[in-house]
Amino acid sequence: MPELPEVETTVLLLRKKTLNKVFVCVWGEKKNNLSKKLKGKRIEKITRHGKGIFFHLSSKEILFIHLRMTGHLLYGKWERKGKEWLSEEKIMQHPKNGFLRYIFFLSNGKQLALSDQRKFATINLISRKEKEDYLSRIGPDPLEIKKEDFFRILKERRGRIKSLLMNQQFISGIGNIYASEILFKAKIRPERNADSLKQKEMERLYLNMKTILRKGLSLQGDSTSDFRLLDGRKGGYQEKHLVYNRKNLPCPVCKKKITKTILGGRGTYFCPKFQK
């Protein structure tokens, strides 16, 4: 699932390509009325909170996109040939980029497409009030939250720290990959209870949460699974994993073998010696 670095990378690229463009029409794999609703509306601003993308339109409405498990956005040109949409760009024909569910036609002659193999992505046209209601149900953004606020909500919660980091009502934007990486960097075992953390450990957790997410962003996200950039290329963080997807490989600090376990139904990677 795309996490904060992948979604923020997408938003930064979208701002360069689609700001002030007008929606001409929309194709959907299934019948929908988005084309009628979006036609003639200009993209004035694009923002992100957690894993959600918000296109603020000239109509004062908001196009909300959540990429969920396997969704990613692509920017280019496609032509309909029979029942398929094909692009002249070879990279867009890669299997990971070929599961087109929506295509948004823009006023500059380009298209914005959603590729989503498992079909879980959400696309809705919402009001400002509906956006506020959505944000009220999820946690603060980890790149924006202040230290004292992070400590406060951490102390109010119980449960295993890795599961808590992935709980979008606690903090919004962290998933399985970055939770494992953050906890390694903070020297904290993923199965530790949140209320067992000492002050120094909470300090390390807060600092390394921001450090790891910013590193993921600087490398334009993680493409271990389906995530791709707008031009179809992979991000780079999967080449820099500390523990994630490195079972039985040496810990980058102590050389002990990385362990994989199942925690909360998710594969969890950690160093049994370095992390306490």
CATH number at residue 36: 3.20.190.10
For residue 210, what are the domain limits?
A: 147-270
Count of structural domains, the chain: 2
Could you confirm whether 129 is annotated as catalytic? no
* Residues 92, 202 share a domain: no
- Annotated catalytic residue: which of 5, 8, 48, 51? 51
Residue 275 lies in a domain: no
Give domain status of residue 142, yes or no: no
pTM (2 decimals)?
Answer: 0.97
pLDDT for position 83? 87
pLDDT computed for residue 267 by the predictor: 96
Q: Within a domain: residue 141?
A: no
Q: Where a domain ends, among 136, 162, 192?
A: 136
Q: Quick one: CA torsion of 16, 19, 25, 30, rounded to 10 degrees?
A: 60
Annotated catalytic, 60?
no
CATH code, domain carrying 218: 1.10.8.50
Task: Say how far apart CA 56 and CA 4 lie, in whole Å.
Answer: 19
214 & 130 share domain: no
Q: What dihedral do alpha carbons 125, 127, 130, 132 form, nearest 10°?
A: 120
- 276 assigned to some structural domain: no
Contact 218, 235 (CB under 8 A): no
CA dist 56 and 108 (Å) reads 18
Q: Are residues 87 and 14 in the same domain?
A: yes
Identify whether residues 170 and 262 lie together within a single domain: yes
132 and 171 both lie in a single domain: no
Whether 239 is catalytic: no
In whole angstroms, give the CA distance from residue 61 to residue 54.
10
Contact 79, 86 (CB under 8 A): yes
State residue 14's pLDDT score.
98
Residues 262/268, Cβ–Cβ less than 8 Å = yes
**Amino acid 215: pLDDT:** 98
Cα 8–Cα 12–Cα 17 angle in degrees, nearest 5: 140
Token representation of residue 65: 């996109």
Q: What one-character-per-residue DSSP string does the chain give?
A: ---HHHHHHHHHHHHHHHTT-BEEEEEESS--SHHHHHTT-BEEEEEEETTEEEEEETTS-EEEEE-TTTEEEEEE--EEETTEEE-SSGGGGSGGG--EEEEEEETTS-EEEEEETT---EEEEE-HHHHHHHHHTS---TTT--HHHHHHHHHT--SBHHHHHT-TTTSSS--HHHHHHHHHHTT--TTSBGGG--HHHHHHHHHHHHHHHHHHHHTT---SSS---TTS---SGGGG-SSTT-TTSBPTTT-PBPEEEEETTEEEEE-TTT--
What is residue 62's predicted lDDT score, i.e. its pLDDT?
Answer: 98
CA–CA distance, 163 with 155 (Å, rounded to integer): 15
Q: For each of the chain's 276 residues, which pLDDT tens digit applies? A: 899 999 999 999 999 999 999 999 999 999 899 999 999 999 999 999 999 999 999 999 999 999 999 999 999 999 999 989 999 899 998 999 999 999 999 999 999 999 999 999 999 999 999 999 999 999 999 999 999 999 999 999 989 999 999 999 999 999 999 999 999 999 999 999 999 999 999 999 999 999 999 999 999 999 999 999 999 999 999 999 999 999 999 999 999 999 999 999 999 999 999 999
Which residue in the list 2, 140, 142, 190 is annotated as catalytic?
A: 2
How much is the pLDDT for 204? Answer: 98
Catalytic residue among 77, 203, 266, 272: 266
